[in-house]
Amino acid sequence: MFIHQRSTQRGGFELWKLAGVSISILSVGLVMLLAGSPLAHAQAPDARNPSYEWPWAMPLWGKKMGERGIDLPLPWGVGINYLYANQPIDISRIALGVNDGEMVDMSDLIEFEEVRSRIHALNTRVDLWLFPFMNVYVMGNYVANASTEVNLSQPITLSALSEQGGGGGGFGTTVAGGAFGFFGTLDLNWTWNKMENLKDPVGTFLVTPRVGKNFGEVGGVELIFWVGAMRQKIASETKGSVQLNELFEGGGGAVQEQILNWYNELPPSRQALVRGVAGRLGTADDPVIRYELEKSIASPWNMVAGTEMGITDAWRIRAEVGFIRRTSFMFGVNYRFGLIRKTDASGGKK
């Protein structure tokens, strides 16, 4: 991973590129926002139909639901989704260390004008309606690109862009119900993703309530719309490390020289504050930069709106957009199937 940097101060304090390196891990939160947020279960149970015989072994109590005229989606599903998102991040603390030196809190020296993360990712998911009102699922995530743009206003004006990839997975559950075409769902999920420049996977928890309307068959396809909200919580502390020469094309020698010049021009009180970082960074041979961050999503809540088209009972196409402080787009294809038919009293398949 390289950091592409633009500075308005010639020969400025290149150590602040490291802020861009450290902040790049915030892309993880955005990755998990989407990777951990599969498209809504728009096919909720619907109590508006005549009695019928449910032929599949799952969900549990499916036979009783059929006798009561509650329409159920096919129990098993496999899906793939494309994911994009763009959101701001808040930084409350940043600390840097060089090699085995102590960590130095740089929060009072670095002032961020804006930190913004963008991702492109793929998400796969296998789900099962365990009960008529509860769906459970597992998922895997591949992050093709996670980029973070960092704009500093202090001590210099600087913009930095970092990029990385990664992957992970998680699990979740959706509680759903509906009647007369209207439905409501509540989705809860937990994910862990490992990015290229992180020591450990980072966890995220998502809560997404949605309400919607199934309009039935329109133009030969089943048409469903919904609106809702999404709340994201990511692990607040992240740690990592990277070698300086890995960050800059052509190596970090010139960067070290500029850092040392900047450090020598500081007053003694400032030198004492950053000596553990700037002093070691300016003199060490290919130093390893260690970093710690306290971060949070600038706006934990955002709105979502989506649609699903049922080409058949088995093949479904879904799309959802997010807006208000966090912009996102998801598009996916889902295939649903029964897999196992229920048995009758004699042990035969129905």
Residue 335, pLDDT score: 97
Most confident option among 51-55, 114-118, 291-295: 51-55
Domain map of the chain by residue range?
3-244+286-337
Pairing of strands 158-179, 134-154: antiparallel
| Mean of pLDDT values over 182-189 | 93
C-alpha distances (whole Å) from 299 to each of 131, 185, 261 are 34, 22, 39
| Mean of pLDDT values over 317-334 | 92
Is 334 a residue whose pLDDT tops 90? yes
Q: Count CB atoms within 10 A of the CB of residue 121.
A: 26
Helix residue spans in 181-290 (DSSP H):
253-264, 268-274, 280-283
Q: What angle do CA 18, 231, 119 make, to 5 degrees?
A: 45
266 forms beta bridges with: none
- C-alpha 52/C-alpha 337 separation (Å) is 18
| Phi, psi of 259, deg, nearest 5 | -65, -45
Q: What is the pLDDT of residues 117-174, one digit of tens each?
A: 888 999 999 999 999 999 999 999 898 888 777 776 665 566 667 777 888 999 999 9
Q: What is the pLDDT of residues 17-44, one digit of tens each?
A: 444 444 444 454 455 444 444 444 556 6
Q: What angle do CA 187, 164, 24 make, to 5 degrees?
A: 80
Q: E-assigned strands of the chain?
A: 3-7, 46-47, 70-71, 76-98, 104-105, 111-131, 134-154, 158-179, 182-195, 202-218, 221-234, 237-243, 288-297, 301-310, 315-323, 327-337
Q: Which amino acid is at 80?
A: I
Report yes or no: 224 and 213 within 8 Å, Cβ to Cβ: yes
Residue 1, pLDDT score: 40
Architecture of domain 3-244+286-337: Beta Barrel (2.40)
**N-terminal to C-terminal alpha carbon distance within the chain:** 57
Distance of CA 56 to the CA centre of its chain: 34
Exposure pattern of 295-331 as b/e (b: 16+ CB <10 Å)? bbbeeeebebebbbbbeeeeebebbbebeeebebebb
Q: Six-digit token pair at 308?
A: 């699903």
pTM (two decimals): 0.73
Report yes or no: 284 and 98 within 8 Å, Cβ to Cβ: yes
Higher pLDDT, 28 or 83: 83
- C-alpha 52/C-alpha 56 separation (Å) is 12
222 forms beta bridges with: 217, 310
Residue 236, pLDDT score: 62
Q: Which amino acid is at 281?
A: L
Q: Do you know the residue count of the chain?
A: 350
Q: Which amino acid is at 121?
A: A
Burial of 233 (0-12, 13-18, 19+ CB in 10 A): middle
Least confident of 71-80, 108-117, 128-137: 108-117
- C-alpha 186/C-alpha 228 separation (Å) is 10
Exposure pattern of 240-263 as b/e (b: 16+ CB <10 Å)? bebebbbbbeeebeebbebbeebb
Report yes or no: 211 and 178 within 8 Å, Cβ to Cβ: no
- C-alpha 69/C-alpha 52 separation (Å) is 6
